Amino acid sequence: MITPLDILSLETWILILTSFILVRIYIHKKWQVLKNINIPHDPPTILGVGNMMGIIKDPNQMFLSYFKMKKKYGLVYGAYSWLTPSITIADPEILKQIFIKEFSTFPDRQKALLDVNGKEMNTALTSVTGSQWKRIRNTLSPTFSSSKLKEMFGIVEDCADSFVQNIGTINSDGDGRFDVSLAFGRLTLDGICSSAFGVKVDSQAANNGKESQVAKMAREFLAIEIFKNPMVFVFLVFPWLGKIAKIFDYSIFPKKYIIYFSKLIDSVVETKKKKKQRTDILQTMIDSQITEEDVKNGAVKGVTRTEMKGNALITLIAAYETTSNAMVFLAYNLAVYKDAQHKCREEIKQVIAEHGGLTYEAVQDLKYMTQCLNESMRLYSLVPANGRYCVRDITINGVTIPKGTLVNIPVFGMGRDEEFWNDPLTFNPDRMLDMNEIDPMIFQPFGAGPRNCIGMRFALLEIKITFAKLLQKFYLDVCEDTPAPPLEVTFKSGMRPKEIIHLKVTAVE
């Protein structure tokens, strides 16, 4: 009979056992952080990867678990991403401190996954921190000023006109039925590529088999579901591996797309340098280009060529999913709630008559449409959650947040919480009549504080121009198989309907 001592020596077995005990003690100590600061949480386990197993099995738990956990523990509760503690906070008073007054304590969105996107996208505004973030943010912010948005109005309007023209073809060639996500996705792709890369891609022409190579590559790139990559969870569980990944220029995104768009940007930049073209996001970055040497010398404004590529790419990723899905959800709500659609259409007619056309100023006067859009984004949030990383120990309103803790802000959950909204599952634009009465900590579709979404105003402009043009010419209606409200949603690369949504259009007489 073979005994353990026939396999390894007694000393080796003692060493293995001692190592196991020490590791277990280390894990146990790490899992005492939340208990020691009196943050309620479910007990972490090794097989549960701390408390992550539910999200690993079903990423939708990232936002659905809020309702169960809040009922169990209240507005503040914790969890472990393997050994790293996080605290979910839905208390608006604490969030106000985190986002605004104590911004220097919570300057970054996260620490995990910042170094695993490839050298270009590691320099994107959503990944960089500290002085680099401030320099890039200061450089790009003027791009979304009123004056610059007016200059980009024509880009957006051209894309919206192509969209309405395609909807007209759908209406005349068939029963008016169309795939909402596909149609708005193509529209948004046109707008983002035109503004971020300075190129016209005509993705909406794909209906006629004329899709360009740029549109094809962008569509494939945007279809990637990052959370299906197991390495994402490896980096979430062991965030220190990100530093190693950065050394080897590893990316969780397929390299072929990053290489393709990097070369495209190089080509467009050289063209624009020879002859300055229309105002777009890329042109702003070209006008502000600096060298790596300038960065080393402490430049406070400007972007390098690498940062230019990274921020063009992140604009494509971040703006495409959120903007197209915001349009999908708004179209669905207007098709279901006909009275809201009617009020929007009447307002559009009135505003256009007052301004003599659909101008930038006219779009700003579409107050009821803005109410509908805000209510749609409350009910169907564009992101499941926001995050802020704590860089020093702090206590806010009796809640202690240790250094190295991620604060999770449950955007989806707060948007549907009965504690904050009456009848939260009902689409009611009237509740958004006076935004001074809406707490910006509870309703934050584009984030809050200094690190909110930089492209928010551009996205809102694109959505309102599109619907102003669409509703002038067409009625939106549901199909026989259109699901009843509220829609079930899922998280892929962003929040989207769980099933394909079809609506139909008929021409306005």
Is residue 197 pLDDT above 90, yes or no? Answer: no
Please, are residues 363 and 354 in contact by the beta-carbon 8 Å criterion?
A: no
- In 3D, which of 485, 175, 180 has the Cα closest to residue 336? 485
Q: Which pair of structure tokens corresponds to residue 38? A: 């009196």
Q: Quick one: pLDDT at residue 427?
A: 97
453 is in an annotated binding site: yes
Q: Which pair of structure tokens corresponds to residue 437? A: 């009465």
Following DSSP, what letter does each residue of 307-366 receive, concatenated?
HHHHHHHHHHHHHHHHHHHHHHHHHHHHHH-HHHHHHHHHHHHHHHHHHTSS-HHHHHT-
Q: What are 387-408's pLDDT values in tens digits?
A: 999 999 999 999 999 999 999 9
d(CA 53, CA 135): 38
Which backbone phi and psi does 407 adopt, to 5 degrees? -95, 125
Is residue 334 pLDDT above 60, yes or no? Answer: yes
The b/e string for 56-82 (b: 16+ C-beta within 10 A; e otherwise) is beebbbbbbbbeebbeeeebbbbbbbb
d(CA 336, CA 261): 39
Is residue 32 pLDDT above 90, yes or no? Answer: yes
Q: Quick one: pLDDT at residue 437?
A: 94
Q: Quick one: pLDDT at residue 410?
A: 95
85 pLDDT band (50/70/90 cuts)? very high
Whether the ω angle into residue 486 lies within 30 degrees of 0, i.e. cis, is yes
Q: What are 459-509's pLDDT values in tens digits?
A: 999 999 999 999 999 999 999 999 999 999 998 777 899 999 999 999 987
The b/e string for 163-184 (b: 16+ C-beta within 10 A; e otherwise) is bbebbeebbeeeebbbebbbbb
Is residue 155 pLDDT above 80, yes or no? Answer: yes
Q: Quick one: pLDDT at residue 1?
A: 62
Please, are residues 303 and 141 in contact by the beta-carbon 8 Å criterion?
A: no
CATH of segment(s) 10-507: 1.10.630.10
Q: Quick one: pLDDT at residue 471?
A: 97
Is residue 211 pLDDT above 80, yes or no? Answer: no
pLDDT mean across residues, the chain: 88
